[in-house]
Amino acid sequence: MEVMENRVKKTLKRFYSNVLSPKNWIRQLNTRLGIFTWVIVALTLKTILAYGADFEWLHVQDPIQVVLMLLNPVGFTIVLFSLTLFIKPKQLYYGALIVLDAVMTLLLYLNVIYFREFSDFMSVNTMLGYNTVNQGGKAAGAIAFGIHDFLFWIDIVILIALFLARKIRFDNELLPRFKPFKILTIGFFILTTNLLVADIDRPQLLTRQFDREYMVKYLGLGPFMIYDGINTYQTGQVRKSATPEEFTQVKNYIQKHYANINPEFYGKAKGKNVIVIHLESFQQMSIDRKINGQEVTPFLNSIYHSKSTIAFDNFFHEVGQGKTSDAENMLETSTFGLPQGSLFSKLGNDQTFQAMPAILGQRADYSSAVFHGNLGTFWNRNNVYKHMGYQNWVSGDYFDLTGQKATTWGLKDKLLFKESVPYLENLQQPFYAKYLTVTNHTPYTLDREDRDPNFVTTNSGSKIVDNYFVTNHYLDQSVKEFFNYLKASGLYDNTMVVLYGDHYGISNTDAKYLAPILGKDESEWSDLDNADLQRVPFMVHIPGMKKGYIDHQYGGEIDVAPTVEHLLGVSTQRYIQFGQDLLSKQHSDVVAFRNKDWITSDYASLSDRYWDVKTNEIITKPSPTLQKTFDHIQSGVNEKLAMSDNLNQKNLLRFYKPKAFKEVEVSQFDYSKRATISRLKKQNVVLGKSSTSLFAKNGNQSTLSKYLTDAPEANDEKTDSTRLLPRNADDWSQIE
């Protein structure tokens, strides 16, 4: 036993002497490989420090993400710094190593500072753009620096001090010939493993361009910035080649396909407030649907059939990989999303938009706001909304998301509508406000306390399908409570409410479970049936209107902006919009999908096959005349998508200065909660009796007490935990 103890003591002593002893550190630092290892370890530890102390551990949610988060600084750092090992002159080697360490530390620290203020990571555009950097600098000046900030720099200070004290001397001995290659190979192996595991756990991470925090969590800060830099360069090269003549082609196309207004409806809602309710993942099939003898959405059904509503039952979503962000882009700008990825994420940092918030603000003096229960950085909204002209962006950062108040996707809908009131009531009227709901989001889970005990859902064999109708029902109740508030507060009569579904909720893979519910045979389910499921609601509710009806016109999300603007009495002929007023008698019934498929009231082209819409049969041998019709439609769809892509990818709107429209000046917007509250209060004070806000009209008293909800979490105290997971708003990875 004594011999064993002596051996252990000797081993520990040797380990201390060779590894832990400060003398050994100094000895190792006097070698090229030793100082290289010092820098790698120090920079990795600093990155992990930033992840934990400042980036909130990137909200990791499973062991794989934890491993990737701890691994991603290692591979990239080794690859980057191993390049210095190929430098032979000793002065140049040590200089390059320290300078590179300082530069990478500076980039890390700048992201720490930026994240503290904006809860986001710096993009290359942010660093290169003068206005943004200037704003960021002003904001950073007001930031209280963290007590741990010195740790980001202490390793460099120690290293320089040791050099000055001559404790470290330049190593004249070069590394063995193949040593740098071996180290570089090890780094590449770790980095490649990181990328492969990330791609397995989160497919299409790069092509769809998720929230920046999501990308840093999986790839690391360095790879993210390189990827963002490449994307910025490619975008810049595409835009550099753009010419005003290309815009003229787009403008001529738009003018050629413009659909005239319908005098019967033009200006029908002129001067009214506009509230857009984004019904997350909500499909047309749920309207008027009964499950076990009960309506899934009784309130939405009543709106759908109201004489104050114009509803469309052949309205399709047209989103691509950008999902919700594509739907928003079409709603606001009447241009399509991109062929790959999200326009918001790829181009939104410096895109020129002609969006509804800016158009209504400049043409009819509308104030504007967006309300959402998730984080402000999702889909790059914190940048995109500024370029669209939104004055206020009230995101999940404004609300209490702790305890049971939020799902993993954000604040529950009933709470979102209620807790938005202090901001909504302070908007100057008329206003344009958009609500992005989240509770009806895959995988459609809902706490038992939030469920209607009287509503019994399906037993289809799929949790996704069964839960979908449960969250549909909850969403319906949420909208009903909000409408009740609008009436109680006095806003209802002077407000046009637009309700639309952004994209499908039940994917094609679950169609076999859904088919019997829709009265169809799953064995006969076809591509046309899948296309029919892409219908989403579009309803325009105008209190006081008596001529509402259900319109069977075929159309899509691209048509929303001109339809809404014409109802408000705002002409769209001067703007670049690829949609047409759905109420126009000249509206085309060709609906273009992002993948170049299409559908009309008579025919459809889906996955390279033609369909007869009325008979649900494949057209295998179209007549020459019919084939000519199909070719003409396909050519039109291809041209429409290509024109939109060219406009957006090359940012051609920067060449266009239409009458009475000024490009949005993004520097005027500050979306921080403090600034928003101050700004809204100040407007009421400055305007005094001229203020048109609901708050002012109510004798400078809040109307929050008029909002009645049965949400069980409404009065819960704030806790230290939340179920919110910051990720892309259209992550389908949880579908079973």
CB 162 within 8 A of CB 168: yes
Helical axes 624-649 vs 244-256, angle rounded to 10°: 140
* pLDDT value, residue 562: 99
* pLDDT value, residue 476: 99
Residues 593 and 326: their CA atoms lie apart, in Å, by 12
- Report residue 714 as tokens: 């409404």
pLDDT above 50: residue 137: no
Q: How confident is the model at residue 223 (pLDDT cuts 50, 70, 90)?
A: very high
How many alpha carbons lie under 13 Å from residue 658 in its C-beta half-sphere?
19
Mean pLDDT of 215-230: 89
pLDDT above 70: residue 269: yes
The one catalytic residue in 324, 439, 457, 722 is 324
* CA distances (Å), origin 346, targets 82, 141, 333, 380, 584: 31, 29, 16, 9, 33
pLDDT above 90: residue 157: yes
* pLDDT value, residue 132: 40
User: What is the per-residue pLDDT across 636-657, written as a single tens digit (0 to 9) for each?
Assistant: 999 999 999 999 999 999 999 9
Mean pLDDT of 311-319: 98
pLDDT above 70: residue 736: no
Q: Does the annotation place 502 within a ligand binding site?
A: yes
Q: pTM (2 decimals)?
A: 0.79
pLDDT above 70: residue 207: no
Q: Does the annotation place 324 within a ligand binding site?
A: yes
pLDDT above 80: residue 556: yes
pLDDT above 70: residue 713: yes
Q: Does the annotation place 372 within a ligand binding site?
A: no
Least confident of 202-211, 321-330, 472-481, 701-710: 202-211
Residues 645 and 339: their CA atoms lie apart, in Å, by 8
Q: How confident is the model at residue 733 (pLDDT cuts 50, 70, 90)?
A: very low
Residues 185 and 179: their CA atoms lie apart, in Å, by 10
Which CATH architecture group holds 252-670? 3-Layer(aba) Sandwich (3.40)
pLDDT above 50: residue 574: yes
User: What is the per-residue pLDDT across 424-443, written as a single tens digit (0 to 9) for each?
Assistant: 999 999 999 999 999 999 89
Q: Does the annotation place 280 within a ligand binding site?
A: yes
Mean pLDDT of 187-211: 81
Residues 581 and 364: their CA atoms lie apart, in Å, by 19
CA torsion through residues 591, 597, 599, 603, sign = positive
Extents of the domains making up the chain? 31-238, 252-670
* pLDDT value, residue 31: 86
**Phi, psi angle pair for 610, to nearest 5°:** -95, 145
How many alpha carbons lie under 13 Å from residue 624 in its C-beta half-sphere?
0
Active site residue 676: no
Residues 358 and 199: their CA atoms lie apart, in Å, by 38
Bigger pLDDT: 334 or 207?
Answer: 334
Q: How confident is the model at residue 162 (pLDDT cuts 50, 70, 90)?
A: confident
Strand 431-436 and strand 367-372: the pairing is parallel
User: What is the per-residue pLDDT across 682-696, written as a single tens digit (0 to 9) for each?
Assistant: 999 999 999 999 999
Q: What is the mean pLDDT of the chain?
A: 90
pLDDT above 60: residue 448: yes
* pLDDT value, residue 658: 92
Mean pLDDT of 197-215: 73
Cis previous bond, 658, omega within 30? no
User: What is the per-residue pLDDT across 352-398, written as a single tens digit (0 to 9) for each?
Assistant: 999 999 999 999 999 999 999 998 888 989 999 999 999 999 999 99
